[in-house]
Homo-oligomer: A and B are copies of this chain.
């Protein structure tokens, strides 16, 4: 592969001049410039990014360590991160931790060894020494979605509290009183927060969240299945299962189906994280949607600000409730159809397009928060 020396020889100039042409340095004669460009063309020369990075101590690369690529939420996040990074002149290397702290460490180390300019992390756990050292050691870093308390790193995330309260109001309005949750790992902020807020919201309605109705999941489908089986085997099973992410909701569906039960007639289901398929499941699933694309973009901007010497900003964006039919017919629909056997009742609302990049129109009757609190 041709190097800068070959170009210099081909153009009859020094390597310094070639470098100046390539980097748009002003003091190069028009003559030299055209000769260099010609040589570049004929040799098919491309600058070696490795050598360049060694010299300049910048890689123009961001690392993104996410908890689970197979989770559509993180896939979408990764996509928006790459998009925004590309727009700002950076590329992205993704590390998939699969919810495993050891794998997370592997990727953090690998990325650090490659001297990435900055790190975007959605931590799987409370933070390994490696990551904490990196943060303290001055590696530009931003947490996205999840974070580690007590570390001085900007956080870009969604605030699901209001949406969870809306969900509980919705469920309560439908007459449900025994609500259970499939929680995420306690080592993650999102895992903790969702349970805590759910419990508080129940209490506001005079309801209880007993320990047997808190199932410990790990954000993976299998755990959702296992926990739901447990719920269904209880002497008094819950009327509603709220899964703290979409994969555990999938597992819950598996378990419910394996028992031959129906949603929402036999048991209601809701999930944190909205995905496109939830529109087409049987029945369509009520979920809490995060502004995933916006989160990814904001995280990249914060990180690049930090890298380029501007003060980075933490960002919190609201999540919102998307009501569908998995918890029962919404109260606002006149229950003309008997609430009984068939799950295939024609929805009286116009069909909702499956969730897409563009934010759905706020006035869509199928997409709305049934309760608005004072300080909304």
Binding site for B on A (CB under 8 A): 44, 46-51, 53-54, 59, 69-70, 72, 75-76, 78-79, 82, 86, 91, 93-94, 96, 106, 109-110, 112-115, 133, 221, 250, 253-254, 257-258, 260, 262, 276-277, 279-283, 341-344, 346, 351, 353-354, 356
Contacts and interface: CB of A to CB of B under 8 A. Distances in A.
Contact of A96 (B72, B82, B115, B257): B82
A136 B281 CA distance: 47
Given A54-B50, A282-B344, A283-B282, A78 B72 contact: no
Q: How many copies of the chain does the oligomer comprise?
A: 2
Contacts of A79: 69-70, 96
A106 B87 CA distance: 12
Given A75-B69, A221-B276, A50 B44 contact: no
A46 B108 CA distance: 12
Nearest to A114: B49
A26 to B, nearest CB: 24
A355 to B, nearest CB: 10
Contact of A280 (B47, B93, B282): B282
A78 B69 contact: yes
A65 B66 CA distance: 19
A262 B344 contact: yes
B351 A257 contact: yes
19 contacts: A44-B133, A46-B112, A48-B54, A48-B113, A51-B54, A70-B76, A79-B96, A86-B106, A91-B93, A91-B110, A221-B276, A221-B356, A254-B354, A257-B279, A258-B351, A262-B344, A280-B281, A281-B281, A344-B344
A253 B133 CA distance: 49
A344 B266 CA distance: 13
A370 to B, nearest CB: 23
A60 B31 CA distance: 40
Given A49-B115, A282-B344, A343-B343, 14 more contacts: A46-B113, A50-B50, A50-B54, A69-B75, A69-B78, A70-B79, A79-B96, A91-B93, A250-B277, A254-B351, A254-B354, A257-B351, A260-B351, A282-B343
A47 B344 contact: no
B114 A50 contact: yes
B96 A93 contact: no
A75 B82 contact: no
B260 A280 contact: no
Contacts of A48: 54, 113, 115
A146 to B, nearest CB: 20
A89 B192 CA distance: 35
Contacts of A78: 69
Contacts of A114: 49-50
A110 to B, nearest CB: 6
A250 B354 contact: yes
A62 to B, nearest CB: 12
Given A47-B113, A51-B54, A253 B282 contact: no
A282 B344 CA distance: 9
Nearest to A53: B50
